[in-house]
Amino acid sequence: MADASPPSPNIFYPEWQHELQAALLELDTEKLRERVAAAETAIFNRLQAISQGSNHTAERQAIEDALASLRVLKRDNLGFPDWEKK
């Protein structure tokens, strides 16, 4: 997990948003790969934890948005293919 810094006012789901924020702010390409992997792992773990609940609609939408951001980051900064091209 990212370092223990004071909570950000935009962090509603600290189980995974700290890792996402670290990835989005990383400038070093090698570290970015690690940050993206950490964010994806944190998101996966959280999805597992909330998989049986029905009252996590807002968080699921936030996760969907986060995964879209990670796809763009991987495509634009790490050279991953654009899977959404037609």
* pLDDT at position 72: 96
* pLDDT at position 63: 98
Segment holding 20, helix H or strand E: helix 14-25
Token duo for residue 31: 């570290």
Closest CA to 79 of 32, 9, 45: 32
Token duo for residue 66: 């986060």
Give the pTM.
0.84
pLDDT in tens, the chain (86 residues): 455 555 566 899 999 999 999 999 999 999 999 999 999 999 999 999 999 988 999 999 999 999 999 999 999 999 999 877 66
**Three-state DSSP class for residue 9:** coil
* pLDDT at position 53: 85
